[in-house]
Amino acid sequence: MKEYAVCYMLGGISQRFNGQVKALCEVGPEGETLIEYSMDQAISAGFNSFYMIVNSFNEDLVRGRIGKNYKGKDIEYVVQEFDESKRDRPWGTGDSVCCVFGKIDSSFVVCAGDNIYGENTFRILYGHLISSENDCAIGSKLIDNLPEKGCVNRGLFELDHEEYVKRINEMFGISRNDVFGGKYNPLTLSSSSVFVLGHRTLGLLNERLVRFKQKNVDDRKVEFILAKGLDELLVEGLIKMKCYETPDKRLGITNPGDEVFVRNEIRL
């Protein structure tokens, strides 16, 4: 059977969430977690395997909750490691996805483990996966992709007339007040860190990651951001990436208290 995989990035330290594993927050009426909701949606769309990119601090917690098999679908765990004597945190989302380099030999979905993306989103991703060899990204209107409170980082898409991505401009510390104040266009398509990436693209990212680590060997905090790495490949014309706007509202946890909003949205 052909593998249609979803890789969940769970390797971050979650400093704004007091180090807790946001993906394991129970948000459903029967105690379902964020990631279980997401996996159910992925399975419904046709995906048949999962990779959990964890860290040494949360691996046991995630394994204990999710296990090695979820509703008949295999789960493989991959640890995103870093040298604590030289680093204060992992090497970022670009490093996270490169942890599966050498483990997956076909195109796959990579996304954050602390978001519920919606059934339609996964159907779009699966449809692209079975019909195209190019990469793809999911976009949401910026105003719909921001938490009610607090600030987040978002990649803003620049598209051509055929809806292919020209640039991913990573912006830091965006709040709803920035949008309402006119700093950003609320209708700009923005990334929620969910992509279909091909094996070749993953290899190109891994090459850049190696050089990035060599260049920043003495920096304790700098990170290799997935959106920035993909932006460089796009600018250099090394990859093609289709962008699809999802009709689904992304539900996620960034700051303490967001889980209450997610629970209320699920009950609607």
Q: Who's near 159: CB < 8 A, 6+ residues apart?
A: 165, 166, 189, 243
5-267 is a CATH 3.40.50.2300 domain: no
Q: Which DSSP category does 250 fall into?
A: P
Check if the beta carbon of residue 44 is closer than 8 Å to that of residue 122.
yes
For 131-189, the pLDDT digits (tens) are 999 999 999 999 998 887 788 889 999 999 999 999 999 999 999 999 999 999 999 99
pLDDT, one tens digit per residue, over 197-212 is: 999 999 999 999 999 9
Q: Rounded to an integer, what distance in angstroms lies between the CA atom of residue 263 and that of residue 268?
A: 9
- Tell how far CA 207 is from the center of its chain: 20
For position 93, what pLDDT does the model report? Answer: 95
Residues of the chain scoring pLDDT < 50: none
Domain coordinates in residue numbering, the chain? 5-267
